[in-house]
């Protein structure tokens, strides 16, 4: 059997079409989670977020988040009683995201057990208010 230009061009076109069909199939079946379902609404309100970050940077004592095996320890400033919530975002799986209220002890600390958290990267976002001002902290935590 002789191989000529016509058969070569037809083979290239067929391989190209099959490759494109495979790419379309993969892109349609791939699950893509946004960081938050109402992403665009949050983008519009971002100036409020900037104000919270500026307030946080102006604190004498900063919120400290420490990870030790089995627990996360949040050390809040002792300038007042913080109220708000802590959000855990799993970038690879939005179904694992959850929120919890801030409940500090007498030492202005809150401890959260990490035994139930899946290993890997988590984004911990703390939205809180204290003495009439709003604050925001975000950290990436690697659970091992």
The full 3-state SS of the chain, as one line of letters, equals: CCCCHHHHHHHHHHHHHHHHHHHHHHHHHCCCCCCCCCHHHHHHCHHHHHHHHHHHHCCCCCCEEEEECCEEEEECCCCCCCEEEEEEECCCCHHHCEEEECCCCCCCEEEEECCCCCCEEEEEEEEEEECCEEEEEEEEEEEC
- Domain positions in the chain are 1-30, 39-143
Reported as a single tens digit per residue, the pLDDT across 63-112 is: 999 988 788 999 998 888 899 999 999 888 888 889 999 998 989 999 99
Confidence (pLDDT) at 49: 86
39-143 carries CATH number 3.40.50.300: no
- In this prediction, residue 35 has a pLDDT band, given cuts at 50, 70 and 90, of low
What percentage of the chain reaches a pLDDT higher than 90? 44
């Amino acid at each position: 059997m002789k191989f000529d230009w016509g058969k070569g061009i037809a083979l290239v076109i067929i391989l190209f079409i099959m490759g494109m069909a495979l790419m379309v199939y993969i892109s349609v079946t791939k699950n893509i989670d946004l960081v938050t379902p109402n992403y665009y609404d949050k983008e519009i309100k971002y100036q409020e977020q900037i104000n919270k970050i500026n307030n946080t940077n102006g604190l004498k004592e900063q919120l400290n988040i420490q990870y030790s095996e089995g627990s996360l320890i949040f050390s809040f400033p002792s300038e007042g009683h913080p109220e708000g919530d802590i959000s855990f975002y799993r970038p690879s799986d939005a179904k694992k995201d959850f929120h919890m209220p801030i409940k500090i002890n007498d030492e202005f600390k809150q401890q959260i057990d990490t035994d139930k958290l899946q290993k890997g990267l988590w984004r911990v976002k703390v939205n809180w208010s204290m003495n009439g001002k709003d604050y925001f902290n975000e950290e990436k935590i690697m659970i091992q």
